Structure 1
Amino acid sequence: MSVAEQPPPRSQLRAALPAVIGALVCVHASMAATRVTASLLVLHRGYPEWIVGVLLSLFAVAPIGLSLWAGRLADRHGLRRPLGVGVAMGAAGAAVAVLSQHPVALAVASLATGGAVAVAAVGIQREAGLMAREPSDLKRVFSWIALGPALSNALAPVVVGLLIDHVGFRSGFVFAALLPLVAWWLGRRVPRAAPPAHSLEQDSQGRPRGAFSAFGLLRAAPLRRLLLVNLALSSCWDAHSFVVPVLGHARSLSASSIGLILGAFAVAATLVRLAISRWAEHLDEKRALRRAMALATAVCATYYWLPGAAGMMLGSALLGLALGSVQPMVLSMLHQVTPDDRHGQALGLRMLVTNSATIVMPVAFGALAAATLPAAPLWLMAGLVLLAQVPARRIARPA
């Protein structure tokens, strides 16, 4: 779309918010379904825990190479182009796992579906920023957008667990391959919004910004601290995703029970984001962030001693409340501390930082769990989130 074209009214964009959320749900659920199915499949076939860690790490490899590019793509072209790339990657990656369940095929599926989420989510999150009527409305909009991953994490593990128990592992990958096509159908119902009038190729003095200009945003101390906090909390989310299948398998829980435990986490994350959308104007981002970090620390430290499937569901739900409240606050603050025409790049930078850690952390989680206890990764994250309270205290409140 030409920059000179008249963008649709903000109210028209806001009316398309359900379609945007639905598209994110489908793309993210494709990745979540692939992740759960692949993890349980390799454990079922007797592979060691570190193989699960490697597969989980691969979900973050493609986003490292694609996140900044996706941010520039979204800033230049809006929603549809990054969403189209994400849909193609997600459908193709899951289809590979449908055809073959060899570990190499599962690795390809992990790479592709992980990259699909990165590219599509950057475009969707940037589009959501355009839907906010004013800065104070950002928390509400991003709480709705954050429902996408929460709903997908609630539905996908439960559906996949039932499919595995009653049909077989291949059916979980078929489910994952169909979801991106639904995302594209929904994305086509969002009106096109023109990119900002200021060109991404030059700064305000007419100097070229270059391919790596997004790293210049790190000169802002509030953004650096915000990314450090986000990094610790997203790693905590990854630790939970790793520990539940491994600990559940060690306790001889069925795939359906493990799916319900993961679903309890996601349902709690969904509920807390619904609450944020209702009372957004009464929330202080910084205070809410620090309280969520305190709750996450406590749950991670005690999760191993929770009894049976019911205890794990309770712990997962509490952790879901804590971590589920983080993303709306982080995205709201990020949009307030970065220039309007560089929101896509800032979102891509955030995706790059979190996924870089996601490559390393699951491998470390697998080695740590194999050498000690399945819950050791959560103990590690309890300590790191506690340390992250230091930069969290120093984040300047957005104006």
Structure 2
Amino acid sequence: MSVELARLIACHVFLHACMAGMRMAAPLLALREGHSEASVGVLVALFALTQVFLALPAGRYADRHGLARPVGLGVIAASAGAALAVAWPVFPVLCLSALLTGGATGAASIALQRHVGRAAEGATQLRQVFSWLAIGPAISNFIGPFAAGLVIDHAGFRWAFFLLALLPLVAWLWARGAREHPAADASIAAPRSAWDLWQEPMFRRLLLTNWLLATCWDVHTFLVPVIGHERGLSASVIGSILGAFAIAAAAIRVLLPIVAARVREWALVAAAMLASGVLLAIYPLLREAWAMGLCSVFLGVALGSVQPMIMSMLHQITPSHRHGEAVAMRMLVINASSVAMPVAFGAVGTAVGVTAVFWAVAAAVAVGARLAFGLRGRQSS
């Protein structure tokens, strides 16, 4: 791993940790203030809403301007979003903070993924660099919730939000000075529409597979604080359970670059879908914090192994001058789901209980594993 890639991973860690911490702390504050699960579902959905509308413009912006500008704007927006929650920790402001931190992280992630993909040479190196880059969000999904939970328990929500507001500034220190890659040739960089990417059948299959796996991630992120709150667990314990998931996802991504030359992308994705279905079916039956944490570890291993394989195949399917748009389209799809799913999870959970939500998602992802077997035609050497 090069020094520049290490710096970009560190940038990704601190910027994403701001959003991850806010995504745990803000719903928990809303629950403690007496808001319903449906309201909290709307709040969680807002972390993805801005990314739905910004994804394609952010992808085109990254294709034109590279890395520094999108990351700089993301740092400003994320820090401002968390700072607003420090000043006014009330539900409407938490919603605005969710929009700002979510949109900032999404736009910066598109630029980072595009930058790293353009620097890679060959399919094997693609899998390796995306495995390394994917470690960033996995680590930040531990740092953000765990640190926020500790500060909440010992100093309160405002100090937690203040800590989270500082993290994007640290991210910018790591990103400064990154070497830009040449822009795409202007003669080919103006496609008819980003939606014509859907004319490629493998692209459609890949994004649908990614959507199912992202839904597993969403149901875990949203419902663990809910069931933890129902069972009387403290903020630090809930943060630790989410942190165990994140550590497992990071650990498996550390191993992926080592085996990237031998791994079959479609086989790994299919196995992850089947394992996720089983684990989500078991999860709501667990009552003890240690058992929930252990299940989170196994789920983190399954879901954490997938993104580098998805990103590798995505860059092989799409032409180089449209990598920013392709990454943005993937982010649009999974974040559109992240807007709709927490609202649906909250409504269904309020009506029939969270167990039904876990089981419905488990069944969907297990049945959808057949999509991954159709990706064999994109197996890379």
Same fold, TM-score > 0.5, yes or no: yes
Asked if residue 79 in structure 1 is aligned to residue 67 in structure 2, the reply is yes
Residue in structure 1 matched with residue 109 of structure 2 by the alignment:
121
8 Å CA contact retained: 1:336, 1:398: no
CA distance in 2, matches of 1:110, 1:162: 20
Residue in structure 1 matched with residue 350 of structure 2 by the alignment:
370
| SS state at 2:177 partner | coil
Matches within 5 A, 1:274-285: 274-285=254-265
1:291 to 251, 271, 276: 271
| SS state at 1:140 partner | helix
CA distance in 2, matches of 1:199, 1:114: 33
**CA displacement, residues 234-293 of structure 1 (integer Å, 9 cap, x when unaligned):** 011010011110111111011111011000000000011011022111100000000011
Residue in structure 2 matched with residue 332 of structure 1 by the alignment:
312
Q: Match of 1:84, as an amino acid? A: G
8 Å CA contact retained: 2:189, 2:321: no
1:151 to 132, 139, 150: 139
Asked if residue 130 in structure 1 is aligned to residue 118 in structure 2, the reply is yes
CA distance in 2, matches of 1:45, 1:33: 18
Structure 1: runs of 5 or more not aligned: 1-10, 203-208
* Comparing 243-252 and 125-134, the one that deviates more: 125-134
* Comparing 146-155 and 381-390, the one that deviates more: 381-390
| SS state at 2:24 partner | helix
1:33 to 21, 30, 34: 21
Question: How many residues are matched?
Answer: 379
| SS state at 2:378 partner | coil
CA distance in 1, matches of 2:364, 2:78: 32
2:335 to 345, 355, 359: 355
8 Å CA contact retained: 1:19, 1:189: no
Q: CA RMSD in A?
A: 1.3
| SS state at 1:46 partner | coil
Q: Which runs of 4+ in 1 moved over 3 A?
A: 198-202
1:318 to 262, 282, 298: 298
8 Å CA contact retained: 1:16, 1:189: no
Matches within 5 A, 1:139-288: 139-199=127-187, 201-202=189-190, 209-210=191-192, 213-288=193-268
Structure 2: runs of 5 or more not aligned: none
CA distance in 1, matches of 2:320, 2:123: 12
CA distance in 2, matches of 1:167, 1:259: 15
Q: Match of 1:62, as an amino acid? A: T
8 Å CA contact retained: 1:75, 1:200: no
Cα shift at 1:86: 1.0
- Please give the TM-score of this superposition, normalised by the length of structure 1: 0.92
| SS state at 1:197 partner | coil
Q: Counting helix residues as a fraction of each chain, which structure ranks higher? A: 2
CA distance in 1, matches of 2:332, 2:302: 23
Cα shift at 1:171: 1.3
Residue in structure 2 matched with residue 397 of structure 1 by the alignment:
378
Asked if residue 343 in structure 1 is aligned to residue 331 in structure 2, the reply is no
Over the matched positions of the two proteins, sequence identity in percent amounts to 45
Cα shift at 1:81: 1.3
| SS state at 1:240 partner | helix
CA distance in 2, matches of 1:199, 1:85: 28
Q: Match of 1:24, as an amino acid? A: H
* Comparing 79-88 and 371-380, the one that deviates more: 371-380
| SS state at 2:354 partner | coil
CA distance in 2, matches of 1:215, 1:388: 23
8 Å CA contact retained: 2:49, 2:339: yes
CA distance in 2, matches of 1:44, 1:200: 53
Residue in structure 2 matched with residue 100 of structure 1 by the alignment:
88
Residue in structure 2 matched with residue 42 of structure 1 by the alignment:
30
- Please give the TM-score of this superposition, normalised by the length of structure 2: 0.97
